[in-house]
Structure 1
């Protein structure tokens, strides 16, 4: 069964993914976007977070590839870079630089604005999709609000030419964190959806840079991506040692330099930004930033709390309406889950429509149940870290004993996983699957083989029998030696290792 008209509210990543799926099932898919969309990869008012780094996780890449076949190839052709982080990124962990070696995870690096541009091009190529720009959605048209037969039947909007309305068999809310759909439903008679929230007071600040010409870059720049994790030192140190810092490569020989923290005030002007980069605990970060040419002002974001509108808990959620992306569940952006979760929800939307062939109560209930199962995976990951902070606020604040336990165990467990991943392919692969939302934290926690690998590594570490070294001095450049396949049996590091590689932090 095909529907007649679906209306998608918002033309960002979540909305474009939903539109691509619905184009298979509806005669007409109308995307209503408030902004005038740029023809190229440019920032726009409705997506202020586009000025910060964005990761498209493997599960999100696969989901978008199913919705828009050829998306990844088009993104790379437009300048995106297909890289292996364990080989192409330098990670400064608790005890210093991690060793470089091949892993199971790859990533496509690009800016958010390039991802959206490629998605818009793919969406506009679909005959059923009509993207209308400069349209502000002002309300919903509903019948039977709050009853078992309640339904959303269309939307009201405003353009430069005046007000209008559009009837729809299905409305998809992709308006993001600031969506007013719950308020409009309340005005029509529905109860407000319960909300689960947790705000760990994350603030992050970014600035865009041009890289030096390839021939002018230091010989030590084997890496394309620099990551410096927060210090675990409880002694006296600069605040910048608490930052999670990224030197994030994007298309066009550019990088987004980003620093963020839980509960700290972040720099807001150029001078303070560069001074803070100089004080990040891995000195290569500040040197790399100073070697580049800034091309933007400093961008700061504070709207980073986790928020889940639980429409699935309503006794009678409205028929004819679903929510995707940040409008249903917004995450702490540090965890890079938003775009991938939105794409996964879009796939669920198509699968549910195929199973039910309509947009009535049974369709909506089935979609909400399946979406809830999908969202549980990233939500649990976000809670695992953000619940450790005493200053966090919201409905999901953990009891004091759990906060103390999380604060005490989260970093040691993370360190043990990272270290064991160097020598145990199963541990490395499983953790990569969790990071990419292919395996849940609950599944990982119940996997005996995973924990056996970590225990075995810790025993070898205690006995001095580990093979791949780590903890290279964070005051030096990250070592470029490839430890892939290194067994240590020859009694010497791999070919090409310099003396600096052997200095432990």
Structure 2
């Protein structure tokens, strides 16, 4: 790994920005991470991450990638209270009207809060040689021209020169489009899917070693489209807590008041979450917290013939996925690894490097985007850029999920896709198709 340049700037100090900074450290002499929020010195939720206090998933692929970027991170998180689990044996997933058949996978996931994970990684990044994290700093624009971004301008007028600027601002990259247009640089085509997803979350006390009914550590519910738009998740997180997130598409949002929250939980398809909410001790007084995700946005930088040198986007600034599917943090980590490889290959932050990175990132995004938008378009209220063949794929996916109720093999196929360990196309292998269609007939939830 050689030096690509003297200085790189990362705009945004959340998960995507932090893993990007790790990929840049050692490849640049100096790396500066800028965030307009106040970054806490412990594992607290912060205002700059409005979704931070809700259920988050670090998929197995994301966990493995974070371990690659930060060796020893998993053991550190477990020592701090993160809860290990087998995604097949310890997770009870009610989907398409039935529970997936539980199985031992040999995989290990970890369950923890977003705040704890981000704090641990931020501490690791801040300790890297040549890396500086500056908070309470707002970026007002990019410097340079249509061919090359040369740095950033801060709200106070200060300018920072950089060989590479990484946009990790999130929110679908809306601000960055304006910054690129101001330089005369091309902006990408944007695919938008309106989903109107709402999250409501409460924290409850969890006793030592406590599990849910049926011995599960995590409980997930996805409604049966198109009529049931509800979803829910219960996760054990550090500090002896259950994190309960109730969600829904297109207005099916859980109330924030305690009585309404409990009623929503009690009316879910099974009693697991309703029982927990009714009997566990709340750890926060007053109303639950709320977060909404109106739309998903994918910016197709890979279609630009000549993106400006000295600039790339990562994480939600590249593709803002529906958070119900828990893919965002893992996708950002995978993108950061691709960015590092492209910098090593080209040795400079050129336009050719940016184009190669965007093509590599597009391959990372393709599967999660297909899974998420496919699930979203099971609801007729969803509008936006519908990938070709979505309805046909959705009809088959429904059969695979039904098969997972009775078939360990079908469940493993679904799990590998869910955790980004296999592409969605793996479910379309002829032998898998035949087995899934036959097994689906035996599902107790089959109409």
> When the two structures are superposed, what TM-score results if normalisation uses the length of structure 1?
0.81
Question: SS state of the match for residue 271, structure 1?
Answer: helix
Give the alignment's Cα RMSD to 1 decimal.
2.4
2:205 counterpart of 1:210: yes
Equivalent-residue separation in structure 2 for 1:218 and 1:89 (angstroms): 11
Length, aligned pairs only: 439
- Counterpart for residue 274 of structure 2: 286
Question: SS state of the match for residue 451, structure 1?
Answer: helix
Question: SS state of the match for residue 200, structure 1?
Answer: strand
Superimposed CA distance per residue, residues 36-88 of structure 1 (whole angstroms, 9 cap, x where no aligned partner): 21111101111010111111111111211111111111111111111113322
The verdict on how the C-alpha distance between 1:403 and 1:328 changes in structure 2, with shifts beyond 3 A counting, is closer
| Mapping of residues 19-418 of structure 1, within 5 Å | 19-143=21-145, 145=146, 150-158=147-155, 162-177=156-171, 179=173, 180-211=175-206, 213-214=207-208, 220=213, 222-231=215-224, 242-266=229-253, 267-296=255-284, 297-394=287-384, 396-397=385-386, 405=392, 409-418=396-405
Is 1:201–1:391's contact at 8 Å kept on the other side of the alignment?
no
Decide which structure has the larger Cα Rg and report it: 1
Equivalent-residue separation in structure 1 for 2:256 and 2:118 (angstroms): 27
Tell which deviates more after alignment, 190-199 or 334-343: 190-199
| TM superposition shift of 1:218 | 8.8
- Counterpart for residue 8 of structure 1: 10
| TM superposition shift of 1:409 | 4.8
Question: SS state of the match for residue 263, structure 1?
Answer: coil
> When the two structures are superposed, what TM-score results if normalisation uses the length of structure 2?
0.91
| TM superposition shift of 1:454 | 2.3
| TM superposition shift of 1:262 | 1.9
| TM superposition shift of 1:12 | 0.6
Question: SS state of the match for residue 305, structure 1?
Answer: strand
Question: SS state of the match for residue 157, structure 2?
Answer: strand
The verdict on how the C-alpha distance between 1:233 and 1:347 changes in structure 2, with shifts beyond 3 A counting, is closer
Is 1:139–1:155's contact at 8 Å kept on the other side of the alignment?
yes
Equivalent-residue separation in structure 2 for 1:298 and 1:219 (angstroms): 21
Equivalent-residue separation in structure 2 for 1:304 and 1:70 (angstroms): 37
Equivalent-residue separation in structure 2 for 1:311 and 1:195 (angstroms): 9
Is 1:227–1:247's contact at 8 Å kept on the other side of the alignment?
yes
Question: SS state of the match for residue 383, structure 2?
Answer: coil
The verdict on how the C-alpha distance between 1:115 and 1:195 changes in structure 2, with shifts beyond 3 A counting, is same
Is 1:105–1:432's contact at 8 Å kept on the other side of the alignment?
no
Corresponding residue to 1:454 among 429, 436, 440: 436
| TM superposition shift of 1:373 | 1.5
Equivalent-residue separation in structure 2 for 1:252 and 1:121 (angstroms): 19
Question: SS state of the match for residue 185, structure 2?
Answer: coil
- Counterpart for residue 420 of structure 2: 437
The verdict on how the C-alpha distance between 1:284 and 1:219 changes in structure 2, with shifts beyond 3 A counting, is closer
Is 2:212–2:272's contact at 8 Å kept on the other side of the alignment?
no
Equivalent-residue separation in structure 1 for 2:335 and 2:404 (angstroms): 29
| TM superposition shift of 1:403 | 6.7
**Tell me, which stretches of 5 or more residues in structure 2 are unaligned?**
none
